[in-house]
Amino acid sequence: MQLNFPIKAAMKPQALCGFAAIALLAVNAAPALAYMGPGLGLGAIGTALGVVAALLLALLSIVWYPMKRLLRRMRDSKSAETAGRKVP
């Protein structure tokens, strides 16, 4: 069966050798045999929560400033409308 489009799936030999070397090193990795105490676990959890909180606060600050301007603009236009309708 002949395909109608060319397939260019060939990798460079250097990239293939590098990938094979990394794969062999990863498969042959020895265990560290190190003690990981509760301080390391709590530190890792605290760091992960800090990164997530920082990302959420960054996203919130990016979204909040335009929303604040929109709310202020709506409030100012509403107060301008009511100020024009007041009867002395």
The predicted structure's pLDDT at residue 59: 93
Question: What is the domain range of residue 47?
Answer: 41-74
Q: Is residue 61 situated within a structural domain?
A: yes
pLDDT higher for 56 or 10?
56
Which residue is it, tokens 């003690």? 35
The predicted structure's pLDDT at residue 11: 62
pLDDT tens sequence across 51-65? 999 999 999 989 988
pLDDT tens sequence across 24-52? 988 888 888 888 888 988 999 999 999 99
Q: Is residue 67 situated within a structural domain?
A: yes
What values do phi and psi take at 40, rounded to 5?
Answer: -65, -40
Q: Is the pLDDT of residue 85 over 90?
A: no
Q: How many domains are contained in the chain?
A: 1
Is the pTM for the entire model greater than 0.85? Answer: no
Which two tokens mark 66?
A: 């335009």
Residue-level length of the chain: 88
Q: Is residue 47 situated within a structural domain?
A: yes
Q: Is residue 26 situated within a structural domain?
A: no
